Amino acid sequence: MVKISSPNTDVLIAAKCWQSEANAEAVVRRAIAAAASAIELPSDNTEVAVMLTDDERIRELNEQWRGQDKPTNVLSFPAEWHVGPDDGAPRMLGDIAIAYETTRREAEEEFKPFENHLSHLVVHGFLHLLGYDHIQDGEAEEMEELERDILATLGIADPYAIKDQVMK
């Protein structure tokens, strides 16, 4: 494991609704860089792909891969790791898909700036690519603490504290 500044990040804007968010690609790259600088990656030559899509497409992906016929905010698809000789090619961490409408709605419901919520979802998805999860309480606490720490480096308040305040 090595600590690097940031993996190569490909951002695909796959839905027209993202056109209203001129800074979306920069927000994604900044969040990936912050997450990568906070943890050790399996290689110093890694790559991640992020697809900014809409609720319709993410619903299809959610149905296909998770059996849930509904949109969600973020999906992560970790790449399989194959041990072999280092041929110099980037090591793919995986893919992240983020739905615009769900992300927008959640940000508004929780009174968060859209870019802050997008950053949180990118960090969350990136951590999933590296094996972090939140199914068990202990895992969730570890993952959320790491998210808080990473987002703090970006000047973003604890997203879970904000959510807890809104839900009261």
Query: How much is the CA Rg of the chain, to the nearest whole Å?
Result: 16
Task: Give me the numbers of helices (H) and strands (E) for the chain, helices first please.
Answer: 6, 4
Contact 149, 39 (CB under 8 A): no
DSSP state of 111: T
| Per-residue model confidence as pLDDT tens digits over 122-154 | 999 999 999 898 887 788 899 999 999 999 999
Alpha helices in the chain (DSSP H): 24-38, 55-66, 100-109, 114-129, 137-153, 159-167
State the Cα–Cα distance between residues 74 and 55, nearest whole angstrom: 10
pLDDT beyond 70 at 166:
no
> Binning pLDDT at 50, 70 and 90, where does residue 81 land?
low
Arithmetic mean of pLDDT, 9-35 = 96
Q: Is 8-167 a domain of CATH 3.40.390.30? A: yes
CB atoms within 10 A of CB 10: 12
> Binning pLDDT at 50, 70 and 90, where does residue 2 land?
very low
pLDDT beyond 50 at 161:
yes
Residue of 85, 84, 63 whose CA lies nearest to 72? 63
pLDDT-above-90 percentage for the chain? 70
Q: List the 91-99 sheet strands across, edge first.
A: 8-13, 46-53, 91-99, 74-78
pTM tops 0.85: yes
pLDDT of residue 162: 59
Arithmetic mean of pLDDT, 65-79 = 96
